[in-house]
Each structure stands twice: as structure tokens, then as C-alpha cells.
Amino acid sequence: MTEKIRVRYAPSPTGHLHIGNARTAIFNWLFARHYQGQFVIRIEDTDLARNVAGGEKSQLDNLKWLGVDWDEGPDKPNPEYAPYRQTERAKLGIYDRYIQELLDQGKAYKSYKTEETLKAEREAQAAAHQAPHYVYEYAGMDADQIKAAQVKDEAAGLKAVVRFRVSEDHDYQWQDIVKGKVKINSKEIGGDWVIQKADGMPTYNFAVVIDDHLMEITHVLRGDDHVSNTPKQLMVYDALGWQAPKFGHMALIIKAETGKKLSKRDEDTLQFIEQYRELGYLPEAMFNFIGLLGWSPVGENEIFTREQFKDMFDETRFTKANAKFDAKKLAWVNNQWMRAEKDRVMPQLIAELVKAGLISQQEADQQADHLAKIIEIAGVDGIKATSEIAPLATYPFFKLHDISDEDKAAWLDTEAGKQVTSAFAKAAAALTADDFTAENLMKLIRQLQTDLAIKGRPLWNPIRLITTHEVQGPNLPEILAVMGRDWTLKNIQETLV
């Protein structure tokens, strides 16, 4: 590819960054970075009613968190292309200018049909088993008659929208970067469509074309759900005499349970980047997982850094079929990353202990090393997200369970149990605080094994029970060494009384 690549991610500020949006952003970013092109962010906020306060900020924050940066955007304007919010562009009259041009050329016209009329038309079409389509309201009229009708509607106080005059029968086709050749006839568009709404705002399908052209976007990589918008956009490019960018429509990410497109309204699937962020997923892991959805590299590895993705990117390797979102694999990917980035993750893990109320912030700050050891042996290697550490570390490190009657009967009240616990209590007390190491404790228990001729669970469980109140858990000598002599002896004493 020799031309300069300019791609964009164009979110609507209607809420948090969704997994599907994130994927679009990530692949566009990859596309730009791989070919040393430029990545632009544009805010498509023409639907005033759906914009939510903070939506734009949240989108951008989460993008940054993922490690996706941009060369131009609302916060980073290039004067040649700014502004980057469609509402601001609309105020500048950017869209009006081209709407007027189309109006002047007769390629678009003012339409005064009311919502009620349109609704009734569609219902009638549905009843007649016809595809819903817009019926041209000025059929058979000459220019003067049209003018007269419009003047009359205007006088009646009706608000006009501007509709694009769609050709009767024209094939719109393009070579899609992921799907190959796609062809859609103008008959399937559903009739003349609105390019300017009654409130004066351009519609998405129109504004996108104007902006992509003006911003010199060369490639548009977006979701499959935009395929049917493409012919509409193509006809605007044609009407204005512009060259369309190359399009690529990526297969969608669908819900594992239903096989349907992930919908922002589903509350049972975690599908916002924000949610994973709060659970303690690593941005690298999210990027890694998403980068492998609907796209695959050449080799056999599964764990990659952003840099590696950037180097490997190849727009010919997109999958054509939809991909189900597999939360288990995401968890595995995150686990891989957590282990690779343990130093960086440790403060987050400690913060989780504070959050869970197990320790105070002050303790967290003062005992970072000690807490790190606890976390390490509590089982970081097995967790999928940082938020999972608190339940793992609570017992026995910060609280003790009550010993159950069954455990007591099975391990402590037996003859062997009594022997083991009293011998261990004595031997442990004989160790100084400095000698209270995992190594020495292991040696001590091995000695007990020899002396008492008891081994396996009958040996270990009683000791585990009187010190930690558990019959299973991480390596016992390590627990005791980390928690220390005082803690151990105190537990033994309280338990044996």
C-alpha cells in the first residue's frame, strides 16, 4: 500500500465504550499504525436526543486505557480538518452547503410528509406484504407543481426534511476489504431517504460521507451492520462527484447464548470495556482478546502485545463469519497477562484488599511487601481478574473460619490428631521468630512425620487446622512463615484451648 492511509473511529457519544466499538477502534488503529497512517477520532453526535452527558469523555478515556491513541480528534484538532464533532460542523454550515448543492441540482428535494402519513404508508405496505418503502410524493408533477405543493405545505406550517432522490434501478457495488465484492441495487434502499432532518441536522448516512471526504479518509473499517448503509453513502459520493474510500465490513461479535448481535441493552453480558476495567482486567489483555476476535495472525501464539499486533496486522486476514464472545477465553488471556505483569498488577491487588475492607489504606501502604507475599501464596496464578484476590486471601490471612464439627472430629479429636497437634505446638514454639521460615517449618513437619510415623493428610490436616482453621489451601509452611510466629502460636493456643 503506497497511498497515505487515513482511517477513523467515529463513535456516537451515547454511552460507554462497547466491546464491539472497541474492536472497530482497535482494528482501525492497527490499520493506521501498521501502515504509518493516521488515525482520527470523530464524534457523531447528530442525534441530539440520544447524546448522553459524559459519553464522549467515557469513550475517549476507555480508548486511552486500551492503549489506543489518535493523531486527530476533538481534543487534538488539526486546523485543516477541524472541528471533529458533527454538531460543531453542522453549526459551521458544512453540511448545509452540500445539501443545498444537491437541492440545486435536483438530486435532493424537500419533503413534507408527516410522521403519521409515513407510518400509515408503511402499515399499508406491510398489510400488502410489500417491503416498506418511501413513496415519492411528487410523482407525475412538473417543477412548478412541485414548487406550488411545497409552498402550500410550508404555509401550512409543516416542517420539511430533505430527501435524496434515489435512482430507480442502479447497482451499487464495491470491493469490500473483508467480504469481497458486494452488490446492492438501489431498489433495495427503501426509497428516497432523509439526508437532513427536520431539526436541521444531517442524518448519519449523509454526514458520514461529507466528513469522510473532507477529512480525506481513505479506508472505512466498520461493523457488518453497516453493509446496507454503504449503497446510500455511495450514491452521495456519486452525486457530489467524489471518490469513495475503500470499505471493509467486519463480521460482528455476537452473544454466546443467543447468537445475536451484542446489544447495549442486554444487561446479562458484560460488554462494556468499563466493566472489565472495574473487575480488574488488564488493558493489554482486553486488547489482546479483542484483537483476536474475527481476525487471526499467521502463527500459533495467542498472547500478543499491541506492538506485535501492529506489526502483524494484515487486512486480508479478517474472518468472514460472526464470532461468539467467549468470556472464558478472555479470562484466560487476562490471567496470562496478569502473570506476565505481576509487578505492575501487585498494587492493584493490594488495592483490592483495601476495597474489600480487609485492611486499611494505611496498612496497605506500610506493609506492601508483606501483603505481596500473602497475595503471592494465596494464589495469584489462578485468578482471572484482580477483583478475585480478596475472596482468596480473606481466609486464613485476614480472618479465620470456625472449625467445623466434622473437621474437628475427623482430624483433631483422634489419637493421631492429638499427637500431631501437641507435638507441632511444642516444636513451633521452640523456633525463634527469625527461624520461623518456610524451610524450617517444612523440616520440622518432616521430623514429626518420622517421629510419629504419621504421614499424609493425617499429619498435615491437624496442623493446618489448628493454625489456619482450614483443611486445604496454599502451601502450609509458606503461609505460616509469612504470617509469622506470633500469629501461628496465637492461633494454636486459641484453638487448642
Partner RNA sequence: GGCUCGAUGGUCAAGCGGCUAAGACGUCGCCCUUUCACGGCGAAAUCUCGGGUUCGAUUCCCGAUCGAGCUACCA
d(CA 159, CA 113): 9
Question: 253 or 353: whose CB is closer to RNA?
Answer: 253
d(CA 465, CA 328): 34
Sign of CA dihedral 50, 51, 56, 58: negative
Shortest distance (Å) from residue 446 CB to RNA: 9
Question: 267 or 300: whose CB is closer to RNA?
Answer: 300
Closest CA to 161 of 190, 121, 118, 123: 118
Question: 198 or 240: whose CB is closer to RNA?
Answer: 198
Question: 267 or 328: whose CB is closer to RNA?
Answer: 328
Instruction: For residue 223, list its beta bridge partners.
Output: 250
Question: 129 or 433: whose CB is closer to RNA?
Answer: 129
Question: 39 or 295: whose CB is closer to RNA?
Answer: 295
Shortest distance (Å) from residue 67 CB to RNA: 20
Shortest distance (Å) from residue 364 CB to RNA: 23
Shortest distance (Å) from residue 128 CB to RNA: 10
Whose cell is 491513541? That residue is: 69
Judging by DSSP bridges, how do beta strands 219-223 and 193-196 pair with one another?
unpaired
Question: 47 or 101: whose CB is closer to RNA?
Answer: 47
Run of H or E including 103: helix 94-104
d(CA 194, CA 469): 71
**8 A C-beta contact, residue 112 and residue 162:** no
Shortest distance (Å) from residue 365 CB to RNA: 28
Run of H or E including 36: none
Shortest distance (Å) from residue 62 CB to RNA: 16
Question: 131 or 409: whose CB is closer to RNA?
Answer: 131
Shortest distance (Å) from residue 40 CB to RNA: 15
**332 — phi, psi (to 5°)?**
-65, -45
Shortest distance (Å) from residue 420 CB to RNA: 12
Non-local CB neighbours of 440 within 8 Å, separated by 6+ positions: 431
Instruction: For residue 272, list its beta bridge partners.
Output: 18
**8 A C-beta contact, residue 159 and residue 198:** yes
Counting Cα atoms < 13 Å in the Cβ hemisphere of 257 gives 8
| Helices 342-355 + 327-340 axis angle, to 10 | 110
**8 A C-beta contact, residue 231 and residue 173:** no
Question: 360 or 475: whose CB is closer to RNA?
Answer: 475
Shortest distance (Å) from residue 317 CB to RNA: 6
Shortest distance (Å) from residue 366 CB to RNA: 28
Shortest distance (Å) from residue 18 CB to RNA: 11
Whose cell is 471533529? That residue is: 84
C-alpha cell at 491: 492461633
d(CA 312, CA 93): 42
Query: Is the peptide bond preceding residue 79 cis, with omega within 30 degrees of 0?
Result: no
How many other C-beta atoms are found inside a 10 Å radius of the C-beta of residue 279?
15
**8 A C-beta contact, residue 378 and residue 474:** yes
Counting Cα atoms < 13 Å in the Cβ hemisphere of 192 gives 20
Q: Which long-range contacts (CB under 8 A, 24 or more apart) does 182-190 make?
A: 182/227, 182/230, 182/249, 184/227, 184/228, 184/230, 184/231, 186/231, 186/235, 188/228, 188/231, 189/231, 189/232, 190/131, 190/132, 190/133, 190/134
Shortest distance (Å) from residue 226 CB to RNA: 6
Question: 287 or 460: whose CB is closer to RNA?
Answer: 460
Question: 188 or 278: whose CB is closer to RNA?
Answer: 188
Question: 144 or 267: whose CB is closer to RNA?
Answer: 267
